[in-house]
Amino acid sequence: MKLSMLRSIGEKREKDFNKLGIFEAEDLIRFYPRAYLDLTERTSLKTAYHNDMVLVACEVTRVMPVNYGNKRKMVKAFCSQNGFPFTVVWFNQPYVAQKLKAGEYLFYGRVQNKFGQVSLVNPTFEELDKNYRLKGIVPVYSLKGSLSQKIVRTAIKEALQKCDLTSAIPWQIRQKYDLAPLEAAYHQIHNPTDMQSKDNAAERIALEEYFVLISAFKIIKGGKEEVRLHNYTVSAKEVKGFAERFGFEFTNGQKNAVNEIFENLYSPVRMNRLVQGDVGSGKTAVALCGIFMAVKSGFTAAYLSPTEVLAAQNYAVLQKYFPEYKVGYLAGGMTAKEKREIKTALKNGEIDILCGTHAIFQGDVEIPKLSFIVCDEQHRFGVAQRNALAEKGEGVDMLVMSATPIPRTLSLIFYGDLDVTTITDKPKARQEISTSIIPEYKYGDMLEYIRKEAESGKQAYFVCAKIDDDEEGAIMSVTELYEELKNRLPTVRFGLLHGRMKDKEKAEIMTAFKEKQFDCLVSTTVIEVGVDVPNATMMIIYNAERFGLSQLHQLRGRVGRGAEKSYCFLLMGADGDTARERLNTLKESTDGFKIAEKDLEMRGGGDFFGTRQSGKMLSDIKNLRYPTQVIFAAKRLSDDTFDGRYADERLRMIAIKKYNSLKDVVLN
């Protein structure tokens, strides 16, 4: 059902919903709240943590507009909760001074506790004896353009009434496991009666979505085992000789990965394999061995990278290790003439290995004798984008790589269309990175240490949490951080990098940083996958509690790539036992897979499998919280469905639609 068929959505609102990735009424139903305001319990400010969102009943004793020059910029109220004094401030909301009088009120807002002085910042409020809005469980949605919370809630309510909410799980399986109705779960997730009902609904919806996803992989993988078309002639002895070019002995994990690729290429079906390993575990060397197997057998190979920065780095590596072969480069930032020349050379069979970015997907790119593809950082590509490159040849063998650790127990489920190789060995040459959690009172000392290190020639990354919709103003934006650091450390040269920049600009900034034109780079998480900067020895992450542990581990892996001792400093914007326990896990471990397991255990599947972890396939449910056991329950239901031959045509259609929804997404 199209959005325009809903009474509450006109042309302008439809465009704003489109910006959120919502194009149909069914998308609205799966547009889950990013948070819930639990207004069922009131909080004592005496026990509240800094940055907590709280609902407090209190008495307002005085309201005072604060003037700066001739303009009113702030309203300040003096309040008391059972004799405990605190203040409330509203920035750029002068009308509050007219609405708020002395008396009893409810406030809902964020706590600021600095040096024992407690305040609330920009809270919503209503009179205590007229409590109509600040109560119950209130869903909060991400917004764009003209959309408000009320508009989104109204549209979702209408979609729930008009859309088909029938479960895709066959009735025999629903009956066998006594599953709750899916329709009721959707209503509860958007309008929960209490938090337990919301959690139960999240589990039921997650079970449904994972069931469909896992079933899709079963259906698609069934047709993936294509008969091998390319006959490789390279010998094991020749592969071993090529591996000696690297000048170091492969770890057992690397040897196992190379052996599995070799066995795949001599098997009767084409290869579709994932190699996942921690940062620095030697995946690139494994991939190059696979490319050697192809070119030595007389075929052409391609190496796909998600960014031009990474593609250029891989191009240099390929030229170094394949001096006897012709290596080509194709990327969007090249001139039209350069692109024409490389495409002509490809068509004429003059290139043995093609390295590049999404530009390789273009329809006029012809790659004769293409037999082997490496797809680097696979979580940055949709399934069909990998397939689009594979279609440049027939029966192409595919090797995809990921440095994003997925818990071993789950990788076989969520890379369902791939065979999985995991490299678990620790890299031999890399130093351990010392990780510290920096309390607020030591922030100045940390900056002074970084200043001294920068002046001695070392470099640092400053990473800011990427917040799309920080309504409470609690998180400093990357540009604000950039300006603050320049003011506090005037002798240090800072560069700025974020996702809204064009690819060419990003590449120029990263190159300048590598060439030491900047001492420090202030960035969002776009540096998570980027060029190696061996001289960068310090990683500073702000509001670290807002990141997943696996992502923090990836960011930490940007340093420690040279011979110098490296450090990672974690800054917490909000304290709390859970947040500190999570960050202590990172402090105490450098094993990406152990960290991923802990992250999954503590945050649950909904948070762990966000878009950064596994692409659009799980974006429908990333904001839901549910136990990881739900994922395994979904697999059991899917196994029962296919073993019992209950998979009907409707399930197949829904599953294939889900699988196809992975197609057109590239993450920034």
CATH number at residue 485: 3.40.50.300
pLDDT at 223 over 90: no
283: Cβ contacts below 8 Å, ≥ 6 apart: 257, 275, 276, 277, 401, 403, 423
Specify whether 110 is located in the same domain as 245. Answer: no
Specify whether 442 is located in the same domain as 584. Answer: yes
Specify whether 373 is located in the same domain as 447. Answer: no
Among 366-375, 385-394, 560-569, 644-653, name the one with the lowest average pLDDT: 385-394
Range ranked top by mean pLDDT from 399-403, 534-538, 579-583: 534-538
Tens digit of pLDDT for each residue in 408-464? 556 656 666 677 888 877 656 566 789 999 988 899 999 999 999 999 999 999 998
Among 170-179, 268-277, 336-345, 535-544, name the one with the lowest average pLDDT: 268-277
Range ranked top by mean pLDDT from 59-68, 213-222, 349-358: 349-358
What's the pLDDT score for residue 67? Answer: 67
Write out the two tokens for 629: 């056991």
Domain span including residue 72: 43-134
More confident residue, 18 or 466: 18
Does 149 fall in a domain?
A: no
Specify whether 562 is located in the same domain as 450. Answer: yes
C-alpha closest to that of 151 among 10, 18, 4, 2: 10
Last residue of a domain, one of 379, 402, 425: 402
Last residue of a domain, one of 102, 134, 166: 134
Which residue intervals of 4-84 are DSSP H helices?
Answer: 11-19, 25-29
* Radius of gyration for the alpha carbons in the chain, expressed in angstroms and rounded: 27
More confident residue, 5 or 322: 322
Specify whether 443 is located in the same domain as 350. Answer: no
Are 89 and 74 in contact by the 8 Å Cβ rule? The answer is yes
More confident residue, 526 or 43: 43
Specify whether 437 is located in the same domain as 397. Answer: no
Q: Give 617's pLDDT tier (boundaries 50, 70, 90).
A: very low
Range ranked top by mean pLDDT from 102-106, 213-217, 378-382: 102-106
Question: Across all residues in the chain, what is the average pLDDT?
Answer: 83
Among 153-157, 554-558, 656-660, name the one with the lowest average pLDDT: 656-660
Does 123 fall in a domain?
A: yes
Q: What is the CATH number of the domain that holds 119?
A: 2.40.50.140
Tell me which long-range contacts 99-102 makes (C-beta under 8 A, separation of at least 24): 100/60, 100/63, 100/75, 100/125, 101/60, 101/63, 102/59, 102/60, 102/61, 102/62, 102/63
Q: Is 221 helix (H, G, I), strand (E, B) or coil?
A: helix
Specify whether 253 is located in the same domain as 356. Answer: yes
pLDDT at 564 over 70: yes
Are 375 and 317 in contact by the 8 Å Cβ rule? The answer is no
Whole-number Å distance between alpha carbons of 344 and 357: 18
Does 108 fall in a domain?
A: yes
Are 108 and 88 in contact by the 8 Å Cβ rule? The answer is no
Residues 341-370: what's their mean pLDDT?
A: 89
Specify whether 393 is located in the same domain as 248. Answer: yes
How many structural domains is the chain composed of? 3
